[in-house]
Amino acid sequence: MPHAADRLQTSIETTGSIACVGLDPRPALLPPEIIAGALEEFGDTALGVATAFLAFNLGLLDAINGHCAAIKPQLACYEAYGSAGLRCLEQTVAYARKLGIPVIADGKRNDIGSTAEHYQQAFLGSAPGLNVNRVPGLGADWLTINGYLGSDGVTPFLGPSPSGTGVFVLVKTSNPSSGELQDQALATGAPVMEAMAALVARWGRERVGACGLNDVGAVVGATYPAQAKRLRELMPETIFLVPGYGAQGGTAADAKAGARSDGRGILVNSSRAIIGAWQSTKTADWAGAARAALEKMNLDLRG
Amino acid sequence: MPHAADRLQTSIETTGSIACVGLDPRPALLPPEIIAGALEEFGDTALGVATAFLAFNLGLLDAINGHCAAIKPQLACYEAYGSAGLRCLEQTVAYARKLGIPVIADGKRNDIGSTAEHYQQAFLGSAPGLNVNRVPGLGADWLTINGYLGSDGVTPFLGPSPSGTGVFVLVKTSNPSSGELQDQALATGAPVMEAMAALVARWGRERVGACGLNDVGAVVGATYPAQAKRLRELMPETIFLVPGYGAQGGTAADAKAGARSDGRGILVNSSRAIIGAWQSTKTADWAGAARAALEKMNLDLRG
C-alpha cells in the first residue's frame, strides 16, 4: 500500500481541504427522524442507538465526501454502546473506505509492546485466526496513540516503512488542563511536550514519503498556537492533527500556526460544528447543513 | 455501590490473594479442543476466535474463582477481533460479575473531558439512549487510564466519592522503554513519573475508603522496584496495580516493593503464566493448570 502520508496529501490536494471531520455521534446530535426510525425498529437499546448512529454517519459521509481530507471517528462515542456500537463503527469505516476517504481512528491507544501489537491488529492490520486465516481489523489508515510508554509501545504500530498506515502521537492536547503534565519544565529547560516531540521526530525519521512528510504524526491542539510553532521546529517532517478548532475556541490562524513554510503538514479537525450544524442553523436538512458547515470551514482555513 | 477500594480489599481478604489474573486470550494460548469446537461451529473467522475465547475464559473463571482478588481483561486482545471480540468481553465480564470477582478493564483510555465521559459510560457507567433509557456499559469495577492530558481527562471517570468504581492511572509502566519519557528529569530534579504520581495523589485525595485506600490507583511495574518504593512515599493511600511479575521478569519481592507498611495497597497481575500454564506444564487440563499456577503465585506472593 502507498505511504500513508502520501495518500493523505493526495486527499488534501484532490479535495482542496485540510479539514478532517470528526464523526463523533451521540444521541443529542441525532435528527428526530433518525431517532424515530431506530426506536421503532430496535427500541431504546444499544442496538437502537448504534443503528441510528449508522444512518446518521452514512448520510454525513455522502454529504461531506469530496470536501474533506479525512474523517476521524472518536472511538469512545462508539464504545459507549458496546459491541453494537463497535459494529456501527466497522460499518461506518467500511463505507468511508468504499468512498475513498482516509480514516483516522481516534483511540489514543497505548500499552506495552506485546499489547500494542494487538491494537495494531485491531485498527490498522489483521489478527491471527484459529487456523491459517488472518482476521481483518477495522481497516483505518491512521490511529491516534499515546507515547507515555516510550518506543516499545510505539514501534509495533509502525512496521517497515512505508507500512501504508500511520499514527498520530499525542504531544500537546487541546484541553485546558493539558499543561499539568505536558508543560512541566524538564531539567533541560524544555517542557515535557518537547521531550515527547523529540521522540515523535525520532520515530518518524527515515519514514518520509514523497510528499516530504512521514507517517508518525503528532496531535497538537489549535488552542495552543505558540506551542505549535515551537513544536514545528522540533518536528519538521511531521503531520500535525489539530483538534480544538471551532467549538473548543481555536481560530483558523491558531489551527494553522504549526503549518510548515510550504503550507503542508496540517490537518484540522472539527466535529460538533459540522455534524451538529443542523441544530445551530435550525434546519431539518442535517446532511446539507453538515456540508455547508464544512465548506464554510474550508473557506475559513483557506483565508 | 460501596467504595471500589473497600470492595477490592474485601476480595483480597476473602480470597487470601493479592493476585489479579490477566484474562488476555490469544489463539496461540487456546487448548486444541476449544479451537476444534469453534472452528467447526463458526470457521476461522472473528466470530470463531471470539467464541473460542469465551469458552476459554468461562472455564478459566470457574477455575480461578475464589483464588484471586480480581481479573484484568486486556481490552486489546478482544478489540483485535472487532465487535465479535467485544461481545466476548461483555459476556466474560458478565460472568465474572455473576461470580462476584472484581473486574479491572485494562484499556489505558485517555482523552479530553467530553470524550472521557463517553469512556466512563462505556466501561464503568451507562450511556444515554435514544429516549429516556440508559444503556448499561461493560460493568467493570475499575478501568486503567493514562493521565497525559491532566485533570480534565481524569475527573470524568471519578464522580462524587464513593462512586463505586475506580481507575488505575499509568505512573511507571513495566516495559523496557518506559523510562524514555517517564524517567526524564524535571527542573525540580524529580523524574516525570513523580509528577504523574503527585497528580494521582491529588486526584485521590478525599476519596479514601474505610480500608484506608482510595479509588484512584496507579500502575507501577514490578520491573522497577526501587522506583515503586519512592512512588509509595508520594502516594500513601493509592492502590498499586503491578504488572510485570513473572513473564516480564519481576519477582515476588519486586512486585511487593511498593506495598505499604501495613502490607496493603498492592495488586499483582499475571496473565500468560496463569492462563497458558497448561502449555508449560504440558497437560490437557488447562483449567486445572491455571488454578495450580495461581495457587503457586499466591504462595510466592505470601512468602
The CATH number covering residue A45 comes to 3.20.20.70
Helix (H, G, I), strand (E, B) or coil at A144: strand
Q: Cα B216 to chain center, whole Å? A: 13
Contact A72, A22 (CB under 8 A): yes
The phi, psi pair for A245, rounded to 5°, reads -75, 140
Parallel, antiparallel or unpaired: strands A104-109 and A70-71: unpaired
Instruction: Please judge whether B132 and A44 are an interchain contact, meaning their C-beta atoms are less than 8 angstroms apart.
Output: yes
Query: Mean pLDDT score of chain A, rounded to an integer?
Result: 97
Q: Would you call A119 and B152 a contact, using CB atoms and an 8 Å cutoff?
A: no
Task: Tell the residue number behind the cell numbers 512521514, with chain if given.
Answer: A214
Residue A167 exposed, middle or buried by CB count within 10 Å (0-12, 13-18, 19+): buried
**Which residues of chain B does A84 touch, with a Cβ-Cβ cutoff of 8 Å?**
83
Instruction: Tell the burial category of A226 from Cβ atoms under 10 Å away from its Cβ (0-12, 13-18, 19+).
Output: exposed
Q: Is the pLDDT of residue B246 over 90?
A: no
Which domain range does residue A191 map to? 4-302
A108 is catalytic: yes
Task: Please answer whether residues B244 and B250 qualify as being in contact, where contact means their C-beta atoms are separated by less than 8 angstroms.
Answer: yes
The predicted model gives A194-212 an average pLDDT of 98
Model pLDDT, residue B247: 79
pLDDT of residue A246: 86
Nearest to B83 among A90, A147, A187 (CB): A90
Residues of A with CB below 8 A from B185's CB? Answer: 186-187
Contact pairs from chain A to chain B, CB under 8 Å: 246
Mean pLDDT of chain B: 97
- Cβ within 8 Å, pair B153-A175: yes
Smallest CA-to-CA distance from B8 within B57, B68, B60, B65 is with B68
Taking CA–CA distances from B88, the nearest residue in chain A reads A83
- Most A CBs within 10 A among B149, B196, B200, hence the mutation to make, goes to B149
| Å between B137 CA and nearest CA of chain A | 7
Of A108, A229, A256, A282, the catalytic one is A108
Amino acid identity of B121?
Answer: Q
Cβ <8 Å between B111 and A76: yes
Contacts of A128 in chain B (CB under 8 A): 26-28
Distance of alpha carbon A18 from alpha carbon A252, whole angstroms: 11
Task: Give the integer Cα–Cα distance in Å for B261 and B258.
Answer: 9
Collect all residues of chain B within an 8 Å Cβ-Cβ radius of residue A200. none
Give the residue-averaged pLDDT of B55-76.
Answer: 98
Residue in A121, A132, A180 nearest the CB of B199: A180
Cβ distance of B148 and A182 shorter than 8 Å: yes
Q: Which chain B residues contact residue A168 at CB under 8 A?
A: none
- For B277: left if phi > 0, alpha if psi spans -120 to 50, otherwise beta; the answer is alpha
Q: DSSP class of residue B221? A: -
N-terminal to C-terminal alpha carbon distance within chain B: 34
Smallest CA–CA distance from B127 into chain A, residue:
A80
Q: Taking residues B217-237, report their average pLDDT.
A: 97
CA angle A39, A45, A51 (to 5 degrees): 60
Q: How many domains does chain A have?
A: 1
Sign of CA dihedral A16, A19, A25, A30: negative
Average pLDDT over residues A274-289: 97
Residue B214: CB atoms within 10 A of its CB come to: 27
Strand ranges in chain A using DSSP code E only, listed in sequence order: 19-21, 70-71, 104-109, 126-128, 134-136, 142-145, 166-172, 216-220, 240-242, 266-270
Please give the pLDDT value at position A254: 96
**pLDDT band at A64; cut points 50, 70, 90:** very high
pTM beyond 0.95: yes
Cell, residue B57: 475464559
Give the residue ranges of DSSP H helices in A20-140: 32-42, 46-64, 75-79, 82-99, 113-123
- Which band of pLDDT confidence, cut at 50, 70 and 90, is reported for residue A1? confident
CB contact (8 A) between residue A147 and residue B186? no
Does B192 sit within 8 Å of A181, measured CB to CB? yes
Q: Tell me which residue has cell 516480564.
A: B248
Quick check: A220 and A174 in contact, CB under 8 A?
A: no
Residue B303 predicted with pLDDT over 90: no
DSSP element (H, E) containing B144: strand B142-145
pLDDT given at position A248: 83
